[in-house]
Amino acid sequence: MKLSSLCRRTALAVLLAVAPATAAPDSGNGEKMGEVASTVARMLESAHYSRQRLNDEVEPGVTQARKALDRYLELLDYNRLFFTQKDIDEFTKTYGDKLQNDIMLSDLSAAHRIYDRFLERVAARVDKVKDLLDKDFTFDSDRTAQINRDKAPWPADEAEADEIWSARVEAEMLQAILAEQALEEAAAKKKDGEDTAEASSDNNGGLPKRTPKEQVQRRYERLLKSLQEENREDQSSTFLSALAQSYDPHSEYMSQRALDNFNIQMGLSLVGIGAELRSEDGYAKIQRLVPGGPAERGGKLKVNDRIVAVAQGDGEFEDVVDMKLDKVVERIRGKKGSTVRLQVLSAASLDPSKLDVIPIVRDEVKLKDEEAKAQIIDATGEDGRDTRVGIITLPSFYADMGRGGAPKSTTRDVTALLNRLKREGIEGLIIDLRRDSGGSLEEAVRLTGLFIPKGPVVLAKDTNGSISEMRDPDPGVLWDGPLIVLMNRLSASASEIFAAALQDYGRAIVVGDEKSFGKGTVQTLLEVDRFLPLFAKARQAGALKLTIQKFYRVKGGSTQLRGVGSDIVLPSLTDQDDVGEGALKNPLAYDEVPARSFTPFGNSNELLPGLRAASEARVARNPEFSYILEDRARLQERIEENTVSLNKKERLAEIEEDKARRETRLAERKTLTGPKFAALEVTLDTVKAPELQPVALDKPPKRSLEDSDEPDPSAPDEEEPYVDPVRDEAVLIMQDWVRLEGKPPVTARAGAAE
């Protein structure tokens, strides 16, 4: 991953068009959210793992309700830019001691008044931003702007806030100007040889070009407009999320909209048009078309098209320009077989006033990028022998949650892939859980059972202190050969259960970051409507994701906070202290329970010292890991500095320095000779194919969430090759493992027919 991309990574709004078509009005559920709030509070007090009551003192002088108030303020103004300390003191004095009573009495007026004040502050600040943008910027001072203010104190008053905003707006103007210059330089280099359609696409899809000033001003106008669109139900949902998160970072209130999206992610199946959208300049822009989805099959909707209006069937079009992205998605969602019509600005059109009308019949869409997938790698050693290694990549532990759609199961899919890998003669297996944030606990236990005989997999303790265990009841083992689990600090929850069990059984070697994320808690999903009083039943009242247990390894230690430590640590950019459970708000503590009796299965612990020593020697010689260590040190330095220069010359010098460093690195990479690998790809679509297709390992894997497409002024002229030294080193560790066990070499090379 490029350092600059990591530093500037943005949260990409990826939403797929899927279910009902209208936004909730202020009436209906909005009027009943007070009853929903008191019900959620009672559920938290009685069923959350901590059993804390809202009026319990959880810190000196701080009640649980006060923590909820603090969390609500953080969710609204996470960067501490709009509220002042005077506002915070007023809220604390007015609501701090009475909030728990208000919630239990179904009174959310405090949350609504605070939101109204926030809206006032944002509106006033947007007006001041317009005034700031009218000044002439010279960008020649020695001033700096703070990047992240989430840990900074609130501005003492409006005067201090004005100083903060003056630097912030100047920094955004400078960034917009530098980005515009980078675009112009890139466009000039690409101009020769482009056809009309390509030129039009690069020219903002035929839309009016905005100046840097207009870009910054429009950004804040869109922010204000999106906040103004929040109705009382939306505001109440935000407050209830803050209430749940005050107990621990993984408890959460889900509105019906959020619940629908959660079910989609778990089931990997949806009904819609099969398009990923992102918000850009007020438009919902087509980011990607899902292969095989209705939009791609229709052939008319294209990547970079911008949606202007949406109509249901033969109904009237509704303008969606400057509408919040999730509300645009709601209007595109619908039942299977129904028709939605999109009015779009084509990215290829030369006429910015010409709108295309594209009808699409909604249908079931499979989220293929989130499914398990595999590769077969033939690694050629210095002696000319091949070691055939299988890699199965798991983006999540998904499962059909019993809410309709085609049934999905991580274990079932991995079984199909692994059976094909075995038929292809693999000698070792790698399970890649990097970036796997977890999912279904049951799937984690079932998947573990593919690699161990029957026995305990994970222990769980509830709020009463009762300890239960989840076991693999099946003595069968699908794979008993060498096994490596790849993890990093983004591997969490179910991933950690799986890896910890295999590590404790001596069944696998864990390779990757120093430790995994450290989420050792169990959540359940409770639909709130089931717990509402009969007189207050609200259709689609959402759900409460509630932490009810902590889980533990079979040896007794929790993965909470500490995660799963790697047996062999490899340098990576994700191995940072600010990534993981300990960096979140209100995490539960680490503890232990008595260990369970189990029979180890495997010899990984015996081979570990030799494998670790060989790996450490290779890592020390590998320039790619040197690059990672260099980039990680620079990234940590920038995080600690947390400032950006407002001097244009200094910024340009930094950009040129970064560009020169990357060009030097690119030139060095051309002289490097990496491992000799050849690979085949195995997906659930090709698992039964007569022949498997080769795949290039120097291309990045497809993901639903991509890096920001914001231009990178420091990027070299030539595109950097994709490298994954952690994956490559894992393959080499596996090659060592196979050789140490003395198994005969595989004679078939990658690319041979089955």
Residue 236 located in a structural domain: yes
At 708 the pLDDT is 38
Greater model confidence, 698 or 740: 740
Question: In what helix (H) or strand (E) does residue 741 lie, and over which residues does it extend?
Answer: helix 725-741
Residues sharing a CB contact under 8 Å with residue 7, sequence separation 6 or more, in sequence order: 635, 638
599 phi and psi, to 5 degrees? Answer: -105, 115
At 262 the pLDDT is 67
CA 226, CA 746: separation in Å to the nearest integer? 59
Regarding whether 386 and 362 lie in a shared domain, the answer is no
Six token digits for residue 445: 């236990």
Regarding whether 612 and 504 lie in a shared domain, the answer is yes
CA 228, CA 26: separation in Å to the nearest integer? 13
Regarding whether 184 and 62 lie in a shared domain, the answer is yes
Regarding whether 428 and 333 lie in a shared domain, the answer is no
Residue 705's domain comprises 369-519+556-622+675-741
Regarding whether 79 and 156 lie in a shared domain, the answer is yes
Catalytic residue among 504, 513, 728, 736: 504
Regarding whether 332 and 457 lie in a shared domain, the answer is no
Average pLDDT over residues 19-36: 53
Regarding whether 320 and 232 lie in a shared domain, the answer is no
Residue pLDDT, tens place only, 207-239: 457 799 998 998 899 889 889 989 999 999 999
Count other Cβ atoms within 10 Å, centred on residue 52. 18
Among the candidates 326, 341, 366, a domain finishes at 366
- The question of whether 300 is a catalytic residue gets the answer no
Number of domains in the chain: 3
Greater model confidence, 413 or 700: 413
At 349 the pLDDT is 62
Cα of first residue to Cα of last residue in the chain, in angstroms, is 35
Greater model confidence, 350 or 446: 446
Lowest mean pLDDT among 501-510, 649-658, 716-725: 716-725
DSSP class per residue in 522-591: EEEEEEGGGGS-GGG--TT--EEEEEEEEEE-TTSBB-TTT--B-SEE---TT--TTSSGGGSSSPPPP-
CA 394, CA 373: separation in Å to the nearest integer? 7
Regarding whether 278 and 206 lie in a shared domain, the answer is no
At 750 the pLDDT is 39
pLDDT at 705 over 60: no
Categorize the per-residue pLDDT at 511 as very low, low, confident or very high, splitting at 50, 70 and 90: very high
At 535 the pLDDT is 58
Categorize the per-residue pLDDT at 538 as very low, low, confident or very high, splitting at 50, 70 and 90: low
Query: Mean pLDDT in the chain?
Result: 85
DSSP class per residue in 9-54: ------EE--S--S---SSTHHHHHHHHHHHHHHHHHHHSTT---T
Give the percent of the chain with pLDDT over 70.
84
Regarding whether 410 and 349 lie in a shared domain, the answer is no
Strand 509-512 relative to strand 568-569, pairing: parallel
Regarding whether 352 and 374 lie in a shared domain, the answer is no
Regarding whether 376 and 301 lie in a shared domain, the answer is no
Q: Which residue in this structure is represented by tokens 């708000």?
A: 585
Residue 27 located in a structural domain: no
Average pLDDT over residues 106-114: 96
CA 132, CA 570: separation in Å to the nearest integer? 47
Average pLDDT over residues 591-612: 91
At 578 the pLDDT is 87
Lowest mean pLDDT among 20-24, 383-387, 549-553, 574-578: 20-24
Q: Choose among 227, 155, 233, 94: nearest CA to 538.
A: 233
Give the percent of the chain with pLDDT over 90.
59
Catalytic residue among 493, 495, 516, 572: 493
CB 547 within 8 A of CB 496: no
Q: Which residue in this structure is represented by tokens 């692994």?
A: 418
pLDDT at 709 over 60: no
Catalytic residue among 515, 519, 545, 550: 519
Residue 316 one-letter amino acid: E
pLDDT at 124 over 70: yes
Among the candidates 366, 382, 400, a domain finishes at 366
Q: Could you say which DSSP state residue 137 is in?
A: P
Regarding whether 603 and 481 lie in a shared domain, the answer is yes
pLDDT at 205 over 50: no
CATH code: domain of residue 278: 2.30.42.10
Categorize the per-residue pLDDT at 189 as very low, low, confident or very high, splitting at 50, 70 and 90: confident
Tallying the residues shown for the chain, one arrives at 754
106-130 b/e with 16+ CB inside 10 Å = b? bbbebbeebbebbbebbeebbebbe
Residue 511 located in a structural domain: yes
pLDDT at 751 over 50: no
At 672 the pLDDT is 85
At 444 the pLDDT is 95
Residue pLDDT, tens place only, 72-105: 999 999 999 999 999 999 999 999 889 999 999 9
- The question of whether 493 is a catalytic residue gets the answer yes
- The question of whether 519 is a catalytic residue gets the answer yes
Q: Number of helices (H) and strands (E), helices first, in the chain?
A: 20, 26
